[in-house]
Structure 1
């Protein structure tokens, strides 16, 4: 076994390269970092996009939806469309989402209208302009820790409500304590794996799949799609005590200006 990693950031690049050890050998897995979810910021987010849906959105000029309330409202307008309703009102949406009708009418629906996702067909009457489908076939969150497995477990557990699968990956040099407590992970359905720079990635507990289209999941997907369509792979990296922390032994895959990183804009296929 190699020496312990010096920083958690040092684990990101090798983990991204070994992603198939966790989620299978799919060729179209996209890797993102620091994507703000409704339950915190996972270190890595793995996404298999639905490129048909990305293309349809692109052709209509529809940008990803970047608000949890907007996604919840969009979901209800979609349900109304499926039922064959002529329209839906803010009051009806409020009953299903818990968001105040006044906020929906004054802010959320007008915002979705400006973005082209809904249209106003009469006073207080709204309708979706398109079928709201998920932009991802699969999304997975990964929390990375060197040795603090309890903190990592709690973070991965929070992230699990936003994704199909949630994992905690630890430095293999500190595997004993979490291995002895693997029942926590099995009970919660959180994946547990250990990263060794020489021998690779050992998945000890397989993550339980929770595939369900919820506003929390779709917010993470829409934000990842926003990065993808801009040609980016990372959201803003949080400074620690005002300092931008990066790796100590190589380029940090989160930063555009890191040596060895190259980015180019991409279009929906």
Structure 2
């Protein structure tokens, strides 16, 4: 069974009554519920736990980590960021959700500012499936609407995605690359835009299906062959008698 750790800074829910009403047990609890409904083995972790709940033992047992953060990016310890990054490069999947685009973890893995335009006006978002053959889009219609959303607009300062699964249009006219796939080392990364805390987006069926599809796609593959790196023996016979040959 695929093991998922759902990470959430868990700040807004304790400070904002609107967020607490939508997510009384935290955004992480609703995301975990969506994944458990898909048959995943789910644990949760939050910012104020020791080591942010992301100990070496936890990450070693995690096939996919989901990341939601917004108000406390700077409170995430650099040591934990490097620990998460190491596990992604070694094959742990990572789902970066909504404002997690500005997390230390995502920016480190992308190597860019990950900045963008934004507007919070409760406007309609329409997500279009731009890659219907991708496993993350399985079972979804050609497009669907999020009735109320925070707008994110281009330019989104990220590297060119390996695949673009979803593209969003907003009522105010902007568009945004809202479902982006990346590979880093052995790890698979999916950035998914919808999920602002003051709207019940993670209760929406299509969004919950995308979370399940993405977790299945991103999961660590323990059977994947090791990639050969470092000093390598030649595949064909060659003369290695030269004094400059490194053995």
* TM-score of the two chains, using structure 1 as the length reference: 0.28
Higher helix share: 1
Tell me which of the two structures has the higher relative contact order, counting C-alpha pairs closer than 8 angstroms and 6 or more residues apart: 1
* TM-score of the two chains, using structure 2 as the length reference: 0.30
Higher strand share: 2
